[in-house]
């Protein structure tokens, strides 16, 4: 069952989303070779709480940190402790904030140092896939339209689309109905998008195959073939007027 949010609840999600938007602007400075994961985790935790939010991931099903830090062949859910930003590679940061009623969820892939051209392409196309997914997330469309937009963007490049992990509803809980796959399938359940729905759209794309493996820490997801992966995520709200991207920095007025 998809839980609709009131206007006032969407406003609270926007506030939480602005915290995340500003976090991603400021954390860039720390995403440099040699920075310990602990430092990024500490920055995130302080940033969230000092802006009146709560880190959604902390203690979520026992998860030990406020962010996920996933590097190179780590796709998602990497634990930030005991690792260092490499000289070169793909660094994914995933963050969730609860502000007032609700959670918001967002992720970004940073390019560090000199990386192969095809890896740069992967990052560019994964970000484009998210944008196309968001564009398809509008009143009257269906969940599968989001999936199709993402798949279509990625397909010409023959990158791998992770299948076991999907986007999701978000709000009162970090993970709500519906699931939002990044590929098309013939699922019987394919809800129509309505005002008040709030989604986390999150393509996870690899340089190799779609196959993944779970690490013994119980969290970290890696590509099975060791290929690098990219991940971008935004939380959006479907409204009468259009689709709002909630996890972006506040508008600057001048």
What residue 77 binds from ligand MF3, Co ion, none (CB within 5 to 8 A, per partner kind)? ligand MF3
CA-CA distance, 221 to 63, in Å (whole number)?
14
Handedness of CA 85, 86, 91, 94 (dihedral sign): negative
Nearer to ligand MF3, 60 or 157 (CB): 60
Task: Report the candidate in 71, 103, 72 with the shortest Cα–Cα distance to residue 168.
Answer: 103
CA-CA distance, 215 to 119, in Å (whole number)?
23
C-alpha to C-alpha distances, 144 to 133, 169, 184, 237, nearest whole angstrom: 10, 14, 6, 17
CB-based closest residue to ligand MF3: 63
Binding residue count for Co ion, defined by CB under 5 A = 2
CA-CA distance, 95 to 113, in Å (whole number)?
23
Is 104 a binding residue for Co ion by CB under 5 A? The answer is no
Which among 23-31, 62-70, 104-112, 147-155 is the span making contact with Co ion, rule CB under 5 A? 104-112
CA-CA distance, 153 to 121, in Å (whole number)?
12
Contacts of 17 (CB under 8 A, 6+ apart): 97, 104, 106, 235, 245, 246, 247, 248
Interface with ligand MF3 by CB under 6 A: which residues? 57, 60, 63, 68, 77, 94, 96, 105, 200
- Least Å distance, CB 79 to ligand MF3, is 9
Contacts with Co ion in 187-206 (CB under 5 A)? 200
- Least Å distance, CB 183 to ligand MF3, is 17
Return the structure tokens found at 233: 């995520």
- Least Å distance, CB 253 to ligand MF3, is 30
Which among 40-48, 54-62, 105-113, 147-155 is the span making contact with Co ion, rule CB under 5 A? 105-113
What residue 63 binds from ligand MF3, Co ion, none (CB within 5 to 8 A, per partner kind)? ligand MF3
Is 132 a binding residue for Co ion by CB under 5 A? The answer is no
- Least Å distance, CB 52 to ligand MF3, is 21
- Tell me which residues touch Co ion (CB under 5 A): 105, 200
């Amino acid at each position: 069952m998809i839980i609709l949010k009131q206007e006032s609840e969407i406003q609270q999600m926007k506030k939480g989303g602005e915290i995340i938007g500003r976090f991603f602007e400021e954390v860039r400075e720390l995403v440099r070779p040699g920075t310990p994961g602990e430092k990024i985790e500490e920055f995130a935790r302080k940033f969230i709480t000092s802006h009146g939010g709560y880190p959604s991931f902390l203690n979520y099903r026992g998860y030990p940190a406020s962010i996920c830090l996933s590097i190179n062949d780590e796709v998602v859910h990497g634990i930030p402790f005991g690792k260092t930003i490499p000289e070169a590679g793909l660094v994914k940061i995933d963050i969730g904030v609860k502000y007032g009623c609700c959670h918001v969820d967002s992720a970004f892939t940073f390019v560090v140092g000199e990386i192969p051209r095809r890896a740069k392409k992967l990052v560019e196309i994964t970000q484009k896939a998210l944008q196309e997914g968001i564009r398809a997330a509008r009143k009257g469309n269906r969940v599968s339209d989001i999936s199709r937009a993402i798949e279509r963007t990625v397909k010409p490049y023959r990158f791998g689309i992770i299948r076991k992990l999907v986007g999701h509803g978000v709000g009162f809980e970090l993970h709500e109905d519906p699931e939002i796959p990044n590929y098309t399938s013939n699922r019987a359940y394919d809800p129509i998008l309505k005002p008040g729905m709030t989604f986390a759209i999150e393509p996870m794309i690899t340089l190799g195959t779609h196959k993944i493996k779970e690490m013994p820490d119980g969290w970290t997801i890696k590509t099975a073939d060791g290929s690098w992966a990219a991940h971008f995520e935004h939380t959006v709200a479907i409204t009468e007027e259009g689709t709002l991207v909630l996890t972006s920095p506040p508008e600057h007025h001048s």
